[in-house]
A and B are shown apart, each in its own frame.
Chain A
Amino acid sequence: MMNTFPPSDYMQTESAVSGIVVYKPKPPEDHDAVLDFQCPNCTATTAYSTDDGGLTCASCGYHEVPEAERVGTDAEQFEFTVEALAQAVHGWGEERKELVCNNCASHTTLPVSSLTHSCPFCGSNQVVQMKAVQDVLRPRFIIPFATTTDQCRHITSEWLGDSWMLPNELSKLGRSTEYMPIYVPFWTFDARAKADWTAEVAYRRKALNGKYYTAWKRTKGKVRLFFDDVQEIGCQQVDSDLVKQIQPYDLDALVNYKPDFLAGIQAQAYDVPLDTAWDRARHRMRLRTKKECKRKITRRHRNFRMDLDFQEESWRYGLLPLYIAVYYYGKKRYQVLINGQTGEIAGQRPVDMRKVANWIGTLVIPALLLGLLALITVALDVPQGVEGVARALFSAVVIYLVFTAVYTFTLLQKANKLRSGQGVK
């Protein structure tokens, strides 16, 4: 038994039996509801800079690198308790949160999903320590920014100039675009999948009369898979298709949550509840498992059936670094997302349709002229040898035009994907 009793990290708790005092470990200390970040030298507001990876004072140049334990993929995971699932659905409970600035005492209201705030009156940076219904539903882990805004500009410039279909002046926009760093919520899921499948597999058999027929033979098999850290974004405001393009994040860089990383940077709490995110992740897992089962059936098959048991399911909640940039081309607004860790980029890009039309025209018009020439030659009374050449040329032009049509279609599809940001470079 210990010497100091009770130890300092224990607190008294309710006892159901008189004469017995019960102590339990103290829960992790509750942080202040709102944290203000002030420079210890000059009391000016400090902010986390993604460029130098620390809290920086713009006034006196004070710089401090927040120390947080790197936990990586060993970061704690939680079970799917009935309690956690039910409470995650309720989210943060309130519609908006009223904040009183610790610096200038001004009142502002904040959407409940925002974890950070900059006072519009005095500019002080505040990090809101939301009281989640369950401690596990607070952000526990974070991947700090590893890409600077300069790198973002460079990446964007390259990305905006990497296709001939894009307007020529577009790559210059990358330099002038503002990049907003933001932490978005994410869920990760682990599960062990135990699948048993059955199917009727086709076998070619030779009948007595010498003809071949298909015999269907019932076959069964097993597939065991472990899904490790399947990532699901927990925020509805960010285009999930774009986010998928900039994933995955390297979870080895996970550190324990520290509010310092959020100072002056926007951060969102989850608004995709745990069960919804888990449904999505599970759907991906089961599709992957099904694919794996079907991969084992090398022949034609029918009546495929699979029983899938998920075991050791666990989840984790944290914040991912992301840059959001918006640029205008013409009168249209285009959104760009950059993975704040890997620098992977995704977004919508304008397509210079004149360039595309010129290119298609360059391909089609000479062929059309040649085709026309061939037609005229055939129509005129020309020697038989010349007519044969003209006919052959005409046939070649027709084939060429068919290929050009297919190419044009592909080109237009690509242009459309570029415009909608579907991940085509």
Chain B
Amino acid sequence: MSDNWLTDWDNPHDILDCDNCDATYLHPKHQTDMVCPLCGETSFTEVALNEDAVLNIQPEYLVSFRQSKEALQTQLATFRRSLRLPPKDCTVENLTARAMPFYWPMWLVDNDVTARWQAEVGFDYDAVTYQEQYVEGEWRSRQNRERRVRWEQRLGVLTRHYADHPAPALDEHWAILRLMGKYDLGSKRPFNPQHVSDQLIRLPVRTTADAWPDVEPRLLKSATIECQAAASAQHIRHFKWSPQFANANWTQLLLPMTVTYYLDDTGKKRMVYLQGQTGKLVGQRRASMQRAFQFSRRAIVAAGLLGLITAVLWLVQSFTTVELSNVVDLLLTPIFLIMLVAFIPPIGVAYLNNSHFALENHEIKSSLHQSAKAYWEEND
């Protein structure tokens, strides 16, 4: 790579800003049918390359896609089935054809840390305790062992280099991780532009200064674990340190994701995401109200026809001596049932769409509001 990774590609790339959500992408120019993976917008504005330091920080590693095309199709078919009455546009073929792999960024930071630290470290030890039994005039003793922890004060000096500590490069970083699940960062490999020359790449939004508060707790955690190991202790608590950081080196890690979409009844794009490593699918589920009404209409027409026949039979019976009351009674029941069934699909779709909407809203909101600390506590 040369000095600027944004421009140094075998095939021409441009930097595009989504007109709807302002997300910035590094886009291979030959791809013409691009949609914004975040909002589904197709309108973009080309951004002139400036000296933006954040964008210039080049990727160091990437995590490769692991999903095969067949697996992708299977996942999408399962998703479609889960919609019950999917919109017409939501076909496996459409979803597969529109599937667009892309990478999203995460910061990696290397740091030299010098710190004084103090903590209470715990050492496991076995204590002996006794149980006695008095049965039939005899004593029986049993010795038990109990694992206990002895806490001792330790302090020291830490001079360590911490490499590749992850930090969010996007505002929605925690939301994505929460919804899509964790990536196995152990499988990352060095970034090679040739491997991603045809892929869309989302560019960082957060500056390194913004991301730093998310790095520090992780470094604290690493230091805590290492100080525990250094003291050869099994436990540690009340860890305090006064760190000084130096030689910070920021790079990017690119994470794989596939996005596709379908159009709902109103023609609105509904985005579906697949985690590029595990294949976990997260998408907006919208059943088709049009299809539900269509079903209802057909049922009502069928009920109407049956009703007409019943009315004719009733008239024939009224003006002749032919006994048709049993047939009339017999026809009234299915008419009633069909009329009832006719209302089920629209009610069901309305209920499903509303509940999915509420669920998605809740998930997204709670993910967006989830702090980094909470995320790591849940996932560590």
Contacts and interface: CB of A to CB of B under 8 A. Distances in A.
Nearest to B132: A308
A25 B152 contact: yes
B131 A309 contact: yes
B206 interface: no
Contact of B131 (A21, A22, A307): A307
A79 interface: yes
Given A15-B230, A20-B226, A306 B134 contact: yes
A302 B334 CA distance: 79
B242 interface: yes
B139 A85 contact: no
A305 B129 contact: no
A5 B156 CA distance: 9
A406 interface: no
Interface string B207-241: 00000000000000000001101111000000010
B125 interface: yes
Given A1-B116, A17-B226, A22 B130 contact: no
B131 A286 contact: no
A1 B240 CA distance: 8
Given A82-B128, A82-B145, A83-B125, A286 B134 contact: yes
B136 to A, nearest CB: 8
A373 B118 CA distance: 100
A81 B134 contact: no
A16 B130 contact: no
Interface centre among B118, B127, B130, B145 (most CB of A within 10 A): B130
A313 B143 CA distance: 13
Contacts of B242: 1
A81 B155 contact: no
A24 B133 contact: no
Contacts of A1: 116, 118, 240, 242
B127 A308 contact: no
Interface in A62-84: 79-83
Interface string A282-296: 110010001000000
Interface stretch (B19-27, B100-108, B157-165): B157-165
Given A1-B116, A286-B139, A19 B159 contact: yes
B134 to A, nearest CB: 4
B154 interface: yes
B125 A305 contact: no
Contacts of B226: 17, 20
Nearest to B160: A19
A403 interface: no
Interface in B266-307: none
B157 A20 contact: yes
A17 B229 contact: yes
Interface residues of B, number: 35
Contacts of A290: 134
A221 interface: no
A198 to B, nearest CB: 10
A168 B148 CA distance: 62
Given A19-B160, A25-B152, A306 B125 contact: no
A381 interface: no
Contacts of A313: 129-130
Contact of A23 (B148, B155, B232): B155
B10 interface: no
A15 B133 CA distance: 46
Contacts of B131: 307-310
A10 interface: yes
A304 interface: yes
B126 interface: yes
A304 B138 CA distance: 11
Interface residues of A, number: 38
Contacts of B159: 19-20
B54 to A, nearest CB: 31
Interface string B344-373: 000000000000000000000000000000
Nearest to A25: B153
A17 B240 contact: no
A20 B133 contact: no
Given A286-B132, A286-B139, A21 B156 contact: yes
Interface string B238-257: 00101000000000000000
B135 interface: yes
Interface centre among A16, A22, A23 (most CB of B within 10 A): A22
Contact of B155 (A6, A83, A303, A308): A6
Contacts of B118: 1
Contact of A20 (B134, B145, B156): B156
B128 A21 contact: no
A16 B229 contact: yes
Q: Which 8 A-B pairs have the closest CB atoms?
A: A20-B230, A17-B230, A308-B132, A306-B134, A15-B230, A22-B156, A82-B126, A21-B157
Interface of B: 116, 118, 125-136, 139, 145, 148, 152-161, 226-227, 229-232, 240, 242
24 contacts: A1-B116, A2-B155, A6-B155, A15-B156, A16-B230, A17-B226, A20-B157, A20-B230, A21-B157, A22-B154, A22-B156, A23-B156, A24-B154, A80-B129, A81-B128, A82-B125, A82-B128, A82-B145, A286-B139, A305-B133, A305-B136, A306-B133, A309-B132, A313-B130
Interface of A: 1-2, 5-7, 10, 13-17, 19-25, 79-83, 85, 282-283, 286, 290, 303-311, 313
